Structure 1
């Protein structure tokens, strides 16, 4: 027992979110290395990702793992929820999508003994916001390079055309859906054999209807009444990883004019699948994405993410440059295939979950000693 490493993992594990997905992969890797993990859910997870019976059973069993007095606590969730529940050594892992973090986040981050962020972008933004520099370590996330890989059977998508731009994102302002839809409809005519697929999620059928109405409204403001080339794929049910992998394999290019990211898992999954990627030239994904392995949308300025807190800025990606890049990727398939190949090499060689978890585990063993 003296040499065993015990971790109290606080956060989410089963939800269709980036935090939960990262937590599942990291914890699963640690268990394979003999770490004893107790899972403490931060709340009841109502909406859950479908998992295999064996994996779900294993992860559910972690709630009952007994913890000795000497253990480490790994709080993996947005920092607004960070608390200390005992006298163990607390590591908080979190991220934020703006140029700075809220004041309440800074206070809660400083409550931790150590803070992990996945990107250099966040290391800088957290320090600028008052988090003590000596507490911060950059611990990159990874991607499942065997699940997200080229050559898998594609998903059948109704109304899909010969060439498909794909975006997988939550349906909110930060992801730049307004910029994406208007850029696509302004650049490509309805007669071209090209479509844009937007995969998102919703809580109700009414919410899906509102999402479609929002897309139609953007189209009208762009002077387009015909939205048949924009395909909304939204569902109340969560998708399996296998379904997502099939979706990526049904596309020709991944595009996300995001206003800010704390990591950007979907871009990394698209790169692992071998897709050329178009995304904004700002925030966390610059740790692994650049002009050699992706297409970077120029930033035309910065605006407050919320008018009530003008200190927190995010980017305004250039719609005109996005239009140019989408057209360029469509008309230069040989070049984009080569760049996509470099992108897949980047993530498979440097950003597997195995490597990510091993890096974290090395630090945990240092602390434990």
Structure 2
């Protein structure tokens, strides 16, 4: 499996971070054990370091992965550095000598690639790499077409075989350590097929458009048409059969239940299934060890019907470059479109009321809650993350030991610097209620969302433009976690917090909230919109709102949303800090409620019952 790449923003910030990442890779993809393995029981045998961000602790990661390698189950390590030597990201890791293969990219780097008859730069760089790199094998990485290297480096075949390879072959170790690695390109310059040679004489394949198809090619073509026809006949047969209520109900039940179907039993060798446990009275997870079940609902196989999910938001897919009059206006005719559907599933009672009051037929609107993976978000399975590693201090100073007087610093956690999430309300309440001597901190986990990345500047600018005066003891510290966080690390971040706060102006459901509640965190959240489905005074701290206001800009323009109370938020945050037993009890009740009402097995039963009602109504 390859890690890294040129997109995104990632890094390792400490040795502990590197070791924790190695643990994650080992337990989820290599030979370890985890309930959240994306590939099930499949075990990968290596990690490729395609690192183009960050500069430190990749050597620690290599050591940590290599230490798990055994003679019986070797873990292969490979790397794909750029040709400028030394590589600015992987130099320390390559110096460990732990890598089995190193694929050096001699393209898109003008200082060390072939250019218009000049072979000196690439050969000089090659000699530098091969004389200073210790690895099992070193590969000459080349683009197979000019389109694959927009910044240059493509080598015509005659130059490669007539000028480059003869020079490389003069090395005494050629063939022992220096194979040639060339991407094989057909129609696309970014095809994922590769040609490599470990032989002394490298070979390069070039597609021949005039080549007569071989027997193998003809047989593959015949098999393709035969299999396609067979699938079509099967689909039509099932489509006709599925017109009966019994067949549809049986298909639905068997697909959503934990018991494996005949089809799943056939796939058992490659798709291991585990039985789902029944709910326990002590609050344990009813869906531990869930079955790995996939339901494909194509038009034929589902009887010719479709299910559509809308995950967009008004205006988000067409942000205007300049002011125009929308055509049609925002929200125009939405209720009419909804009334053309057989049913409209919404997640909460709040949405039922909203859709019906807007003109949607009440008989069509059905509440289907969203599930939360209570086994993944299980506080008993994780150790807390040291938030000082990924978090950047943007305001105030780190809490000092003398200020804490032996107490643990109280950590508030929130997400997303988006206006809808109410980060301005949160900062106003937090900075007015606490100062640098109160032993509290606020961590904001966020990523760009229709915005830039200057989160720290936004916070400082907000404070400067407010009417708040800096306290005598200084501002209470605020940290921003703006780097990419692995999904597997989210529970550890929740685990490190003492409370989760989201004074949102409106939520469809509130997945960060239910994730926090499943982790037994006490939450403060606005008592309006989607979260009212699960927020109670027994399992959370509902935040009152001051009034409803019209949205004047952005993708929700023209809608109404809530304006949470800053004063009430101040009071609740202060109360949480001073009420340890109460907040723990509410956090525990929150997890019990998530398991009882929103675990995947519970929601699947609701879905099954609703679809059976639909089928019965059509007979």
Deviations 1:155-213 (A, max 9, x none): 22126862110113x33211001111121111110233211111111279x9222x221
* Residues 271 and 340, structure 1, Cα contact 8 Å, conserved in 2: yes
CA contact (8 A) 1:257 1:279 kept: yes
Secondary structure of 1:291 counterpart: coil
2:154: which partner in 1? none
Q: Distance in 1 between matches of 2:427 and 2:351?
A: 29
The equivalent position to 1:208 in structure 2, one of 453, 470, 473, is 453
Q: Pick from 552, 555, 561: which aligns with 1:314? A: 561
Deviations 1:276-314 (A, max 9, x none): 110112112111112121111111111012369886211
Kindly indicate whether residue 557 of structure 2 is the aligned counterpart of residue 299 of structure 1.
no
Measured at CA, do residues 69 and 163 of structure 1 come closer, stay the same or move farther in structure 2, by a change above 3 Å? closer
Establish whether residue 280 from structure 1 lines up as the match of residue 513 from structure 2. Answer: no
**1:203-239 superposed Cα distances (whole Å, 9 cap, x missing partner):** 79x9222x2211112222233496671111123x4x4
Structure that is richer in helix per residue: 1
Change (3 A) 1:29 1:164: farther
Structure number with greater CO (CA < 8 Å, separation at least 6) is: 1
Distance (whole Å) between structure 2 residues aligned to residue 171 and residue 305 of structure 1: 17
Give 1:88's aligned residue.
Answer: none
Aligned to 2:307: 74
1:323 counterpart residue number: 570
Q: TM-score, normalised by structure 2?
A: 0.45
Q: List runs of 5+ in structure 1 lacking aligned partners.
A: 8-27, 37-54, 82-100
- The root-mean-square deviation of aligned C-alpha atoms, in Å, is 3.3
Deviation of 1:70 after TM superposition, in Å, equals 1.4
User: Deviation of residue 319 (structure 1)?
Assistant: 0.4
Give CA deviations for 1:32-78 in whole Å, capped at 9, x if unaligned: 77699xxxxxxxxxxxxxxxxxx9x997x959x67337143221114
2:481 maps to which residue?
233
**For the Cα contact (< 8 Å) 2:514–2:594, is it kept in 1?**
yes
Alignment partner, residue 43 of structure 1: none
Residue 254 (structure 1) aligned to one of 490, 500, 507 = 500
2:587 equivalent to 1:340? yes
Q: TM-score, normalised by structure 1?
A: 0.73
Counterpart for residue 132 of structure 1: 361
The worse-fitting range, judged by mean Cα deviation, of 110-119 and 184-193 is 184-193
What secondary structure does 1:72 align onto?
A: coil
Counterpart of 1:22 in structure 2 is: none
Change (3 A) 1:189 1:354: same
Matched, 1:103 2:350: no
Q: Distance in 2 between matches of 1:253 and 1:122?
A: 27
Cα 1:282–1:66 change in 2 (3 A) is closer
Which one of the candidate residues 153, 156, 160 is aligned to 2:386? Answer: 156
Q: Which residue of 2 aligns with 1:41?
A: none
SS of the residue corresponding to residue 201 of structure 1 reads coil
| CA apart distance, 1:150 | 1.7
Q: Secondary structure at the match of 1:164?
A: strand
Q: Secondary structure at the match of 1:263?
A: coil
Q: Who is 2:375 aligned against?
A: 146
| 2:270 alignment counterpart | none
Structure 2 contact 440–476 (Cα < 8 Å) conserved: no
Call closer, same or farther: CA 1:29–1:245 in 2, change over 3 Å.
Answer: farther
Please say if residues 278 and 295 of structure 1, whose CA atoms lie closer than 8 Å, have aligned partners that are also in contact: yes
